[in-house]
Structure 1
Amino acid sequence: MPTTLFSAPARLWPAYATALPRAFAEAGLSVRLLTEAPDPAAVDYIIYAPGGPLADFRPYTGAKAVLSLWAGVERIVSNPTLTQPLARMVDPALTEGMVEWVTGHVLRTHLGIDAHLAGQDGIWRNHITPPLARERGVTVLGLGELGTACAAMLAHLNFRVTGWSRSPKALPGIRCLSGPDGLAQALARAEILVLLLPNTPETENILNAETLAQMPKGAVILNPGRGSLIDDAALLAALDTGQIAQATLDVFRVEPLPADHPYWGHPKVTVTPHIAAETRPASAARVIAENIRRSEAGEPLLYRVDRRRGY
């Protein structure tokens, strides 16, 4: 019977205390589930989320894997005490939530909904007709699980979708580009830009003064990916000059976003409080259970992190 330690913020435990045993039973697993480990060396698996009590992984000498509840692993992957295999969370429900957030905000932008919401003053404004989706260019930076799913949905809605990734990809119905030259081409097509890249040294500040200038004037930015992808000062300057017409931001370098941050009061910025892709305990628990089942059966872990790439 594998011993599994749940090490995450205490507020998460009530939901997982029910979801994990149910998922283990569905997977045919008998698991000893702990929230404290009197003997760290006896722990076989660690279920982890940042903000919990665990920072030093060295005592867990028998742990076969660390199973993250987060899709992003930037707050753990560089921990020098972590020598165990690390698996990130790739949850179908998380992907669905991201697709819904991205699709909703792309359509909000595409249809000009904000102007109608702000104009409930008795004036009939029908002088601007939005283009059809097939006439609108949307670029998705990042073609991992989340980016691919969002790009596919937008292509299904007939948007002219361009995807960019650091390594070459081929996806049906999507113009796929890669590398530095490909990035410039992808940005040039981005009337609406969706950021879904991981947080790595190579992607930090990928949107900066130079790359923002490569986008069409009046473009819109949606960032449900990582706060570190954007040079905040450069984005604010581009919003003030009109190079960028609007930005909807769900992730930030510091969270919660400080009350005095310029984004809060900027008329061209919409802040959402990191809600684009929440991990849902019921479905996430099944992913955890499947990885424990696979490990116990001698099968490779799903979604194992490549330490060199950082995700």
Structure 2
Amino acid sequence: MRVLVHSNDDNAWCDALSQRLPEAEILPSSVPATQRGKIDYLAAWQPSAELLSALPDLKGIVNLGAGVDALLNNPALPGGVPVVKLRDAGMARLIADYVRYGVLHFQRDFDRYACQQQNRHWQPHEVVDKTDWAVGVLGLGAIGRKVAEAIAADGFPVHGWSRSPKQLDNIACHHGEDGLFTLLSQVRTLVLLLPDTPATRGIINANTLAALPQGASLINPGRGPLIDEPALLAALGSAKNGTQGHLRGALLDAFPVEPLPEDSPLWQHPRIRITPHMSGPTPLGEALDQVADTLRAMSRGEPVETVDPEAGY
């Protein structure tokens, strides 16, 4: 089995993967094409069209992350080649911590206290009980499910939404368009953990934002294209004259264009907090274990859970 690795740090991945797969030959993508020979499997994060086009004999691709939108949208992705993505691999607990912080940021009024500090204004706010602060999680895949469970374990009522029906302990599960608007009408903080697919792009728009209760908040540790940014800015109100909109605030970690352009109006809006797509970095050790197990199973012809290109995840 010959595996080509393409990542932000080919050497680290290659060295660690070679220790887990001693029976395989692991090569970095920096190896000249004339020296690669036949490659059986590609383990990669956002490979270029040029790289994919140079690998005509692939038997499978392992995506080194949970998001497969860039790979599936690559025009050179070979048809019929199974794609496997990382499913959690330690990312869920990191994203859960990020979301837990975000929920508390709004539930305990830290956004308001930050504004008061700027004005040297001393005013405590009455604490809203957790049981009165419902949280909605859009997307109940491997990561979304664990995030929803973590928030529920903290004492918040949690509503979850997915494309198809699901049943989870301590989570009020909704599905379909009607279920989406039922969820939106009941939550004070909305968390986005959906994949980036044609069906989910712009799912947070003027209509869905208006369905949230007045003063609701938004947390996006998922995918940037889920949000219609002009609609979000309109829902937040004017940053120039300080008028309050329908939405109280937003904590954003993912954007359609990254890094976020310097001229983006999101940077300066007083009710938006921005982080540089850091909510769920892939823990190398757990990811490598999953990649090694997947490659070994594929080479043996054993069944693996593959990405559905039509669904986008």
- TM-score (structure 1 length as normaliser): 0.91
The Cα shift of 1:53 comes to: 4.9
The Cα shift of 1:8 comes to: 2.7
The Cα shift of 1:124 comes to: 4.3
Kept in 1: contact 2:68–2:312 (CA 8 A): yes
User: Match for residue 44 of structure 2?
Assistant: 48
User: Match for residue 241 of structure 2?
Assistant: none
User: Match for residue 211 of structure 1?
Assistant: 208
User: Match for residue 3 of structure 2?
Assistant: 4
User: Match for residue 223 of structure 2?
Assistant: 226
> In 1, Cα distance between the equivalents of 2:39 and 2:234?
51
- Give the match's secondary structure for 2:42: strand
Q: Which amino acid aligns with 1:259?
A: E
- 2:73 is the alignment partner of 1:66: no
Q: Please give the residue correspondences for 1:182-261 in structure 2 after superposition, counting only pairs within 5 Å.
A: 182-240=179-237, 241-261=244-264
Q: 1:60 to 1:153 in 2, by over 3 A?
A: same
Higher relative contact order (CA 8 A, sep 6+): 1
* Per-residue Cα deviation, 1:164-219 (whole angstroms, up to 9, x for no partner): 11111111101000011101101101200000111111111111111111000110
> In 1, Cα distance between the equivalents of 2:217 and 2:189?
5
The Cα shift of 1:59 comes to: 4.3
> In 1, Cα distance between the equivalents of 2:55 and 2:91?
29
- Give the match's secondary structure for 1:291: helix
> In 2, Cα distance between the equivalents of 1:122 and 1:259?
29
Kept in 2: contact 1:41–1:59 (CA 8 A): no
Of stretches 188-197 and 82-91 in structure 1, the one that deviates more from structure 2 is 82-91
> In 2, Cα distance between the equivalents of 1:80 and 1:123?
55
Kept in 2: contact 1:7–1:53 (CA 8 A): no
- Give the match's secondary structure for 1:264: coil
- Give the match's secondary structure for 2:202: coil
Q: 1:123 to 1:211 in 2, by over 3 A?
A: closer
User: Match for residue 294 of structure 2?
Assistant: 291
* Per-residue Cα deviation, 1:81-140 (whole angstroms, up to 9, x for no partner): 3221111112331111111111111122211123334445875422x2222211111000
Q: Please give the residue correspondences for 1:96-111 in structure 2 after superposition, counting only pairs within 5 Å.
A: 96-111=93-108
Q: Which amino acid aligns with 2:66?
A: A
* Per-residue Cα deviation, 1:243-267 (whole angstroms, up to 9, x for no partner): 0010110000100001110000000
Q: Which amino acid aligns with 2:191?
A: V
User: Match for residue 303 of structure 2?
Assistant: 300
User: Match for residue 145 of structure 1?
Assistant: 142
> In 2, Cα distance between the equivalents of 1:184 and 1:113?
28
> In 1, Cα distance between the equivalents of 2:179 and 2:282?
32
Which runs of 5 or more structure 1 residues have no equivalent in the other structure? none
2:18 paired residue among 16, 21, 33: 21
Q: Which amino acid aligns with 1:47?
A: A
Which runs of 5 or more structure 2 residues have no equivalent in the other structure? 238-243
User: Match for residue 269 of structure 1?
Assistant: 272
User: Match for residue 311 of structure 2?
Assistant: 309
Q: 1:176 to 1:3 in 2, by over 3 A?
A: same
> In 2, Cα distance between the equivalents of 1:73 and 1:15?
22
Kept in 1: contact 2:7–2:45 (CA 8 A): yes
Q: Which amino acid aligns with 2:287?
A: A
- TM-score (structure 2 length as normaliser): 0.90
Kept in 1: contact 2:39–2:58 (CA 8 A): yes
The Cα shift of 1:141 comes to: 0.6
Q: Please give the residue correspondences for 1:81-160 in structure 2 after superposition, counting only pairs within 5 Å.
A: 81=76, 82-83=78-79, 84-120=81-117, 124-126=122-124, 128-160=125-157
